[in-house]
Amino acid sequence: MITGTGTGVGKTVTVAAIAALALDQGQRVAVLKPAQTGVEDGEPGDLDDVVRLAGRVTTVELRRYPDPLSPEAAARRSGIPPVTPSDIAKAATELDADHDLVLVEGAGGLLVRFDAAGSTLADVAWSLGAVLVVVAEAGLGTLNATALTAEVATRRGLNVAGVVIGSWPAEPDLAMVSNLEDLPVAAGGLLLGALPAGAGGVPREEFLAHARGGLSPWFGGEFDPECFAGSASAQK
């Protein structure tokens, strides 16, 4: 399960990077997007970006809502049925039967609601026993959002593997450099990567190189948090 501390933090690029490394290792990869919001029928969505960046992965989108709202609010406004945890769990389980890796990308943060019953990605992660990866921003304010996400996940019995910085700028400020040390503490897990800003706009071959350099060996990459932090500190 890939969740974020909010919207626009780099979840889709992170999913694509994990998928790209797994494909490069010869794995069969599937990416499940339970709810795509803010996209009309026929328009490219997050899964199209994953395929463009990572390559030939199996993709499944369960619901698509035109309004750029939470899945619950978008479903209510559109009249399209909401997606439920059982829908998501069923799709993930079916994909798991013939794939080596199944990645589930949430919408927004961990507690964004899918339906009027208050179902969230946290419920799905718990029901599947899935490992949770948190994608966070680099700069000021990210520690609180990351800590809140991790605390909720831990209280609900979820396994938080660690945190990935979804977009790392070429010229980080002091807060960003300091956060390299503090983010793993806030997340209660490892710093599993930092993907360069703009990685989602490069060709596939270049993206694979970014994925390899920006993600931990835990995903099949080469990212070393200590070396990265040392290099970033030297810029300040």
Q: What phi and psi, each to the nearest 5 degrees, are found at residue 79?
A: 80, 0
- For residues 175-187, one letter each, b for 16 or more C-beta atoms within 10 angstroms of the residue's C-beta and e for the rest, the string is ebbbbbeebbebb
Give dist(CA 86, CA 140) in Å, integer. Answer: 37
Give dist(CA 96, CA 178) in Å, integer. Answer: 39
Give dist(CA 82, CA 63) in Å, integer. Answer: 8
236 is catalytic: no
Among 228, 143, 233, smallest CA distance to 188 is for 143
Give dist(CA 56, CA 33) in Å, integer. Answer: 16
Q: What is the DSSP string of 84-110?
A: -HHHHHHHHHHHHTT-SEEEEEEEEET
Catalytic residues: 33
